[in-house]
Structure 1
Amino acid sequence: MALEVFNRREVKYLIPFEVYEDIAERITENMRFDKFGTDGKYNIVSLYFDSEDEKIYTETRNKLLFRQKLRLRVYDEADLTSTSFLEVKQKFNNVVNKRRTAIPLSEAYDYIYNGADVIESASNPQIFKEADHFRNLYNLEPKVVVSYDRQAFHGVTESDLRVTFDYNLRCRSDDLNIEKGPHGNYFIDKDLVVMEVKMSSSIPLWLTRILSEYGLKKEGVSKFCTSIDVESLGMEHAIQNSKVGQS
């Protein structure tokens, strides 16, 4: 069964594509490819939710100490029979907690758009209840689809260490069917990659040295907020706003 609960720190960097290629090669001395995809590469398509008055966007943009998101996610090529993941992602004091439950995509849609009771189809009924409570509390509805390609690595000796590289970051609000795959407007420059270092403790010294060599600094890049900005304001304003966002 896929892991359903994650609790870790996440640090983001916005890097040129060629730097991603260099770092990805160098970290293989201490990390292995993610077991999914080919060489740790796969595609992610997520449907994000927000309220009519954009409570989630506002909380994220204003960097509230505690903030959370709701999304429905699929991996690689998907159809209505595919497994999707309904996820609640919470962030408190720079620690990320993610809880998710697997559910057939067709039934997830039935829940979202028709209010169907599909709890028996969820792999984790308790997490489904939490997601449903969060959705009802904020009156959340589908807002935007975000997609990207990812290459992921896991630590060999540091089992809690994970590094991901996301590129081809696109969004759309005119077609919210995530089974239709990765298409839409680029909300991050095509030549840039979002690198995330995820761990339960501190970044290991060998990786800190690599980050320092490239002069990398933490970037508060919010995929959700920046995608909303692109859909409503256009790329130029979205890039400006992303400098003050947090995911």
Structure 2
Amino acid sequence: MELDGKYRHELKYKIHFSEYLAIRQRLRSVMRSDPHAGADGTYQIRSIYFDNVYDKALREKVDGIQKREKFRIRYYNDRFSLITLEKKIKHNSLCMKKDAEITEAECRALLSGDTGWMLGHSEELVRELYCKMKSQQLRPRVLVSYKREPYVYAAGNVRVTFDSNIRTTLFHRDFLENQVRDIETEEVPGDMILEVKFDEFLPEIIACLLQTEGIRQQAFSKYGACRKFG
């Protein structure tokens, strides 16, 4: 599939709850809450990740492959009215996301193994997933869920998010259910992931507000965390 998108910088930090409180307080002085967030400033994300029997996507992450890709289906706040198929391309600290909206009926057909309709779909990304489900044997593997608190800043197209309560359905293979059965992945209650995304530059004011003693940039994959038990 030809890429016509744009790479963005993506930095990740694992932080404790006390660090979250301090950083959030500083950011709120200059950043605004994402307008898509709810009244409490958050929303829930659920993502169904694809991989094959050899765990291609997982192994590429663990082995530190510089350029890799993952497919996922994503929806928000347990509503099936907006479902997107996404392909995330990662190249070191740069990332790019391609997405295509699919209907609930199409999503349920895909998850049940009915994929014939995908080859003639109007969205190129849907057709690409069909080909890779055939050639690489990609299949839905796990549902990753978490709460996201997002903030945005116009200069540099900056987006800062706090992701918490990361949960996995690793041992439960049914997807798109009204009642999700999953388990917590965090070893320390209250820990969360701070993500910082921006285009060509990170404004100095945001960089200064993010500086916190003891936190270090690190590679972190929610998919990897949700597959760590198998």
Question: What TM-score do the two structures reach when normalised by structure 2?
Answer: 0.88
Provide the rounded CA distance (Å) in 1 between the counterparts of 2:156 and 2:203.
Answer: 12
Q: Which residue of 1 aligns with 2:160?
A: 163
State the secondary structure of the residue aligned to 2:79: coil
Q: Where do residues 207-246 of structure 1 align in structure 2 (5 Å cutoff)?
A: 207-230=206-229, 232=230
2:224 aligned partner, one-letter code:
C
CA deviation after TM superposition for structure 1 residue 116, in Å: 3.6
Q: Which residue of 1 aligns with 2:185?
A: 187
Given that 2:99 and 2:125 are in contact with CA atoms closer than 8 Å, whether structure 1 keeps it comes out as yes
Q: Which residue of 2 aligns with 1:87?
A: 86
Provide the rounded CA distance (Å) in 2 between the counterparts of 1:5 and 1:75.
Answer: 23
Q: Indicate how the Cα distance of structure 1 residues 198 and 34 shifts in structure 2: closer, same or farther if over 3 A, else same.
A: same
Q: Which residue of 2 aligns with 1:107?
A: 106
- Number of equivalent positions: 223
Q: Which residue of 2 aligns with 1:243?
A: none
Q: Answer yes or no: is 1:69 the counterpart of 2:66.
A: no
Alpha-carbon RMSD across the aligned residues, in angstroms, is: 2.2
Q: Which runs of 5+ in 1 are unaligned?
A: 233-247
Q: Which runs of 5+ in 2 are unaligned?
A: none
Q: Which residue of 2 aligns with 1:244?
A: none
CA deviation after TM superposition for structure 1 residue 64, in Å: 0.3
Given that 2:47 and 2:75 are in contact with CA atoms closer than 8 Å, whether structure 1 keeps it comes out as yes
CA deviation after TM superposition for structure 1 residue 118, in Å: 4.8
Q: Percent identity?
A: 27
State the secondary structure of the residue aligned to 1:169: strand
CA deviation after TM superposition for structure 1 residue 183, in Å: 4.4
Which stretch of structure 1 is more off in the superposition, 9-18 or 207-216? 207-216
Provide the rounded CA distance (Å) in 2 between the counterparts of 1:176 and 1:63.
Answer: 30
State the secondary structure of the residue aligned to 1:206: helix
Question: What TM-score do the two structures reach when normalised by structure 1?
Answer: 0.82
Given that 1:78 and 1:181 are in contact with CA atoms closer than 8 Å, whether structure 2 keeps it comes out as no
CA deviation after TM superposition for structure 1 residue 216, in Å: 2.1
Provide the rounded CA distance (Å) in 2 between the counterparts of 1:23 and 1:182.
Answer: 31
Given that 2:141 and 2:173 are in contact with CA atoms closer than 8 Å, whether structure 1 keeps it comes out as no
Q: Which residue of 2 aligns with 1:40?
A: 41
Q: Answer yes or no: is 1:30 the counterpart of 2:27.
A: no
2:228 aligned partner, one-letter code:
D
More helix by share: 1
CA deviation after TM superposition for structure 1 residue 6, in Å: 5.9
Given that 1:86 and 1:131 are in contact with CA atoms closer than 8 Å, whether structure 2 keeps it comes out as no
Provide the rounded CA distance (Å) in 1 between the counterparts of 2:56 and 2:212.
Answer: 39
Q: Which runs of 4+ in 1 moved over 6 A?
A: none
